[in-house]
Structure 1
Amino acid sequence: MSERTVFQSMSRKHVVSLGATATVWEAACLMTGANCGSVLIVEPPGKLLGIVTERDLMTRVLAKALPPDRTLVSEVMTRNPYCVTPETLVSDAVLIMIERGFRHLPIVGPAAKILGVFSVRDALPREIGAAVSMAEFNEQVNDARG
């Protein structure tokens, strides 16, 4: 069986996004309504500025007691997030996530068109297993180089 690409595996094909002047409250409401764990922060006509995730809301807003109705997403977003192309294999995307410590990857196609977000939840167990094996191998190689 051939491996799926991130675009093939995405559970939702529409982009959940807000402008940089939206509040954290608006982001949380949008993510709740869309049942997703992240929102892309864009500037018209579709330029990706950043991403806000559930983890960002916990660590950058709640843990710092910032008022969600007055805190802008641009203040807490991850700027210039790491992105993948729609042709990226799921196991490669999961490996990137493991090694870089995040769970959401924006998918950007030709002409910087934002196509969606790949979430680790979109991966199948075998794809995650392949990525974990590769991450362990990479770690062993790096340790051997010492």
Structure 2
Amino acid sequence: MAERTVFQSIPKRVILSLSSHATVWEAACAMTRANFSSVLVMDPPDKLLGIVTERDLTTRVLARALDPKQTTLAQVMTPNPLCVTPQTKVSDAVLMMIERGFRHLPIVGPDRKVMGVFSVRDALPREVDAALSQTEFNEQVNDALG
């Protein structure tokens, strides 16, 4: 069975984005309405500046007792997020996420147009297993070389 690409795996091809000047409160409301776990930060509407996730809202806003109505996305976003192409295999994307400790990857076409967001939740168990196996292999190689 051919492995799916990240673009094939995403159920929602709608992109949720806000300006860097939008507040955390506005982002949380938009994410709740859309049932999304992340929002892309874009200025002007076609340039990707960063990403804000549910986890960011917890660790960078709530845990620091910041006022969500006064805090802008520019203050809490992950700037210049790692992106993948639509042709990236799901297991390769999951491997990147495991190794780097995040759960969302913007999908960007050759023209730098954002085409969606891949979430680890979009991966099938067999694709996660393939990524975990590769992670274990990489660790063994690093141990042998180190």
For the superposition of Structure 1 and Structure 2, which TM-score range results when normalised by the shorter chain?
A: over 0.9
Query: Which residue of 1 is the match for residue 82 of structure 2?
Result: 82
Query: Which residue of 1 is the match for residue 20 of structure 2?
Result: 20
- Measured on the aligned residues, the alpha-carbon RMSD in Å equals 0.6
Residues in 2 aligned to 1:5 and 1:65: alpha-carbon distance in whole angstroms:
39
Which ranges of structure 2 fall in alignment gaps of 5 or more residues? none
Segments of 4+ moved more than 3 angstroms: none
Q: Equivalent residues in 2 for 1:100-111 (5 A)? A: 100-111=100-111
Query: Which residue of 1 is the match for residue 39 of structure 2?
Result: 39
CA shift for structure 1 position 143: 1.1
**TM-score normalized with structure 1 length:** 0.98
Residues in 1 aligned to 2:143 and 2:59: alpha-carbon distance in whole angstroms:
31
The superposition leaves residues 6-42 of structure 1 with CA deviations (integer Å, 9 ceiling, x where unpaired) of 0000010011100010000011111111111100000
Over the matched positions of the two proteins, sequence identity in percent amounts to: 71
Query: Which residue of 2 is the match for residue 124 of structure 1?
Result: 124
The superposition leaves residues 50-92 of structure 1 with CA deviations (integer Å, 9 ceiling, x where unpaired) of 0000111011000000000110000000000000000000000
Residues in 1 aligned to 2:18 and 2:29: alpha-carbon distance in whole angstroms:
11
Residues in 1 aligned to 2:82 and 2:140: alpha-carbon distance in whole angstroms:
25
CA shift for structure 1 position 45: 4.1
Residues in 2 aligned to 1:141 and 1:110: alpha-carbon distance in whole angstroms:
33
Residues in 2 aligned to 1:23 and 1:130: alpha-carbon distance in whole angstroms:
38
Q: How many residues align?
A: 146
Residues in 1 aligned to 2:126 and 2:103: alpha-carbon distance in whole angstroms:
17
